[in-house]
Chain A
Amino acid sequence: MKSFTERRIILSNVGVIDPERIEDYLERGGYGGLRAALGRAPADVVEELKESGLRGRGGAGFPTGLKWEFVLKSRAKTRYVVCNADEGEPGTFKDRVLMEGDPHRLIEGMAICGYAVGARRGFIYVRGEYTLSIRRLERAIAQARERGLLGRNIMGSDFSFDIEIRAGAGAYVCGEETALLESMEGKRGWPRIRPPFPAERGFRGRPTVVNNVETLANVPEIVRRGAAWYRTLGTADSPGTKLYPLLGNLNRTGLVEAEMGIPLRTLVFDLGGGPPEGHELKGVLVGGAAGAFLAPDELDVPMDFGSLRRIGATLGSGSVLAFDDTACVVDLLGSVLSFFAHESCGQCTPCRVGTAILVDLLARVQSGNGDPAVLDAMRRATEVMEVASLCPLGQSVGLPVGTALEKFRGEFESHLTQGPCPRCKATMEVRV
């Protein structure tokens, strides 16, 4: 059996190099992927990405090479590359660590993408709170321009490409790619109806590749070392490594990179050191707020796209929020639901009203309302949201609600009869 531990590929420079010195990045082989790409036909680069099996690390897991191919094959002259750096999923800070610690890796990945799909301009949409990421990226872009790695005729080729940074302004929904594009166009971040997808009509109506930071950070190594090498990492379904933020009641929290398919147990107990002395693990919220609650008997699940899907969960952002016997699941779900109610953008009714109803229903459970019908009402609300919401924000709320109710039902029932427990960290108000 394969033994798993940390495997640093895209984090290999983080904490090792000075992120404000391009020389450090170059000394360690940086921009070698771009050089290799420029020596090949764009279609070959896209083919390499397709063969590598790289899947989008923003949560949806869509094959990156396929996305690039849609844009490459478009007839439109003007095309764009957009990096989604609007990292807002609770429990997720992986993209921040990459941008702060190794900004040139992202820039190189974007330039390769630009060459492969025939774009001359790229944008990095960074959430507004990430001021250090923005400063480091701005500096790195300036350095790359000075060395002819961005701008006109990169490395003496006829390929020209430049990157601009756009700062978000505090809206979780802008992490949804079409809301992000609306925001970049100077409007409120309301998701568009898809299709058309951004590959067909994206920024200002032009074909646009929208990729997550972690996805693009994988690109330079894939081009430099080849798809066959990349496929030796991870699983057949999810090749490569993944960044996993480890959080909550663990002895060691932080960001780890490991091959896709690492068992959740290894992350929680070996790399995370398990819960603090004298406490027992109660469960794990995997994938962010839009993720699934897992019980301790599910810890052997491999942490890749397909394996998590098979047990009714999702890899999402890769975040692993462990909680021990000092935590209350009702209270934790209350925090998750407050988050969604606040961040629902208000455009579509199922999500706007549904998230508010869920907060109210949970407050009833927590306050000891006594009516078990409240739990069924929560399920019904999420069922409507799953089928009728416009974007993944509303569609995904059913996952944390459904898994919490299914796996920790006893805890909900005891609140229904007894009210808040001593482990409830906040009491929600019944408003309606």
Chain B
Amino acid sequence: MKEGRTAMDRRPTRQGILKRFPRRQDQLLPLLHALQRANPRNYLTPDDLRAAAEHLRLPLAAVYDAVTFYSMFSLVPRGRHIIRVCRSPTCHLLGATPLIEALERELGVRAGETTPDGLFTLETVSCLGLCDRAPALMIDEEPFGPLSPGDVGALLARYREVAR
């Protein structure tokens, strides 16, 4: 995917984002969320981290220290869509393992990896709080469940069609 900006791209610029945040350390997580959201590949670049450190007047190490603690932040490019599969005990009990295996087969990647076309990243998470719909997953901000391995093909097809 091209990183350049087009007229269609409404994502805000880094400078535009920084301006919205007061220069205090407690703004770090909100700022990092905003910077990551603005990147079509859903990750934080080295420039993002440097800009955040400079803006909040923090050592770069302090920013790096925080970023690497939280599972929702990524330092490597991810897919345009992030699939988060729940593997909590409830989802485990009701079939998370076969669901994850079906996703790995259908996408051709293992959990934690991104498809070569850059469309999907498959992640597993500790609990999504969708236990009444177990086994469950989220694609970006949308929850799905309960799902069986047989549902995976049709679910992904929707996103693949939109991408085409």
Q: What residues make up the interface of A, taking CB atoms closer than 8 Å to B?
A: 87-93, 96, 127-132, 166-172, 183-189, 204, 245, 247-249, 253-255, 285, 289, 319, 321, 323, 327, 331-332, 335-336, 338-339, 342-343, 345, 425-426
Could you pull out 14 A-B pairs where Cβ atoms are within 8 angstroms? A88-B126, A90-B88, A91-B90, A93-B129, A129-B129, A132-B141, A167-B30, A172-B126, A186-B27, A188-B70, A189-B70, A249-B94, A289-B88, A426-B92
What's the least CB distance linking B140 to chain A, in Å?
A: 9
What's the least CB distance linking B33 to chain A, in Å?
A: 6
Contact B89 A166 (CB under 8 A): no
Contact B127 A335 (CB under 8 A): no
Contact B29 A245 (CB under 8 A): no
Residue of A nearest to B66 (CB): A188
Contact B92 A335 (CB under 8 A): yes
Please name all residues of chain A whose beta carbon is closer than 8 Å to the beta carbon of B27 when the two chains form the complex.
186
Stretch from B2-10, B12-20, B130-138 contacting the other chain? B130-138
Residue of A nearest to B134 (CB): A247
Contact A171 B89 (CB under 8 A): no
Contact A171 B71 (CB under 8 A): yes
Contact B126 A169 (CB under 8 A): no
Among B26, B132, B134, contact of A186 (Cβ-Cβ < 8 Å): B26
User: In whole angstroms, how far apart are the Cα atoms of A131 and B72 in the complex?
Assistant: 13
Contact A335 B70 (CB under 8 A): no
Please name all residues of chain B whose beta carbon is closer than 8 Å to the beta carbon of A172 when the two chains form the complex.
126-127
Q: What residues make up the interface of B, taking CB atoms closer than 8 Å to A?
A: 24-30, 32-33, 56, 58, 62, 65-66, 68-73, 84, 87-90, 92-95, 97, 125-132, 134, 138, 141
Contact A186 B29 (CB under 8 A): yes
Residue of B nearest to A327 (CB): B93
User: In whole angstroms, how far apart are the Cα atoms of A130 and B141 in the complex?
Assistant: 8
Contact B131 A92 (CB under 8 A): yes
Contact A204 B94 (CB under 8 A): no
Please name all residues of chain A whose beta carbon is closer than 8 Å to the beta carbon of B141 when the two chains form the complex.
131-132
Please name all residues of chain A whose beta carbon is closer than 8 Å to the beta carbon of B73 when the two chains form the complex.
169-170
User: In whole angstroms, how far apart are the Cα atoms of A67 and B131 in the complex?
Assistant: 31
Please name all residues of chain B whose beta carbon is closer than 8 Å to the beta carbon of A90 when the two chains form the complex.
88-90, 126-127, 131
Please name all residues of chain A whose beta carbon is closer than 8 Å to the beta carbon of B56 when the two chains form the complex.
186
What's the least CB distance linking B60 to chain A, in Å?
A: 14
User: In whole angstroms, how far apart are the Cα atoms of A189 and B65 in the complex?
Assistant: 10
Please name all residues of chain B whose beta carbon is closer than 8 Å to the beta carbon of A170 when the two chains form the complex.
70-73, 125
Please name all residues of chain A whose beta carbon is closer than 8 Å to the beta carbon of B129 when the two chains form the complex.
87-88, 92-93, 96, 127, 129-130
Contact B90 A166 (CB under 8 A): no
Contact A285 B89 (CB under 8 A): yes
Please name all residues of chain A whose beta carbon is closer than 8 Å to the beta carbon of B88 when the two chains form the complex.
90-91, 289, 335, 339
Contact B125 A129 (CB under 8 A): yes
What's the least CB distance linking A279 to chain B, in Å?
A: 13
Please name all residues of chain A whose beta carbon is closer than 8 Å to the beta carbon of B66 when the two chains form the complex.
186-188
User: In whole angstroms, how far apart are the Cα atoms of A167 and B36 in the complex?
Assistant: 13
Known: A127-B129, A172-B126, A247-B132. A185 touches B89 (CB 8 A): no
Q: Supply 19 further A-B pairs (C-beta < 8 A) apart from A88-B129, A188-B65.
A: A88-B126, A88-B127, A91-B89, A91-B127, A96-B129, A169-B29, A169-B72, A170-B71, A170-B72, A188-B66, A188-B69, A245-B132, A249-B94, A253-B134, A255-B132, A285-B89, A321-B131, A327-B93, A335-B93
User: In whole angstroms, how far apart are the Cα atoms of A167 and B97 in the complex?
Assistant: 29
Residue of A nearest to B56 (CB): A186
Please name all residues of chain A whose beta carbon is closer than 8 Å to the beta carbon of B25 when the two chains form the complex.
185-187
Residue of B nearest to A252 (CB): B132
Which of B30, B66, B88, B94 has the most chain A CB atoms closer than 10 A to its own CB? B88
User: In whole angstroms, how far apart are the Cα atoms of A381 and B87 in the complex?
Assistant: 24
Contact A169 B32 (CB under 8 A): yes
Contact A186 B28 (CB under 8 A): yes
Contact B97 A169 (CB under 8 A): no
User: In whole angstroms, how far apart are the Cα atoms of A128 and B94 in the complex?
Assistant: 24
User: In whole angstroms, how far apart are the Cα atoms of A96 and B133 in the complex?
Assistant: 13
User: In whole angstroms, how far apart are the Cα atoms of A327 and B89 in the complex?
Assistant: 11
What's the least CB distance linking A337 to chain B, in Å?
A: 10
What's the least CB distance linking B143 to chain A, in Å?
A: 8
Known: A186-B56, A247-B134, A425-B92. A167 touches B127 (CB 8 A): no
Residue of A nearest to B32 (CB): A169
Please name all residues of chain A whose beta carbon is closer than 8 Å to the beta carbon of B94 when the two chains form the complex.
248-249
User: In whole angstroms, how far apart are the Cα atoms of A289 and B87 in the complex?
Assistant: 12
Which of B68, B69, B90, B138 has the most chain A CB atoms closer than 10 A to its own CB? B90
Please name all residues of chain B whose beta carbon is closer than 8 Å to the beta carbon of A331 when the two chains form the complex.
92
Which of A93, A127, A254, A255 has the most chain B CB atoms closer than 10 A to its own CB? A93
Contact B132 A336 (CB under 8 A): no
Please name all residues of chain B whose beta carbon is closer than 8 Å to the beta carbon of A247 when the two chains form the complex.
90, 131-132, 134
Known: A129-B84, A248-B93, A255-B132. A189 touches B69 (CB 8 A): yes
Contact A183 B29 (CB under 8 A): yes
Residue of B nearest to A183 (CB): B29
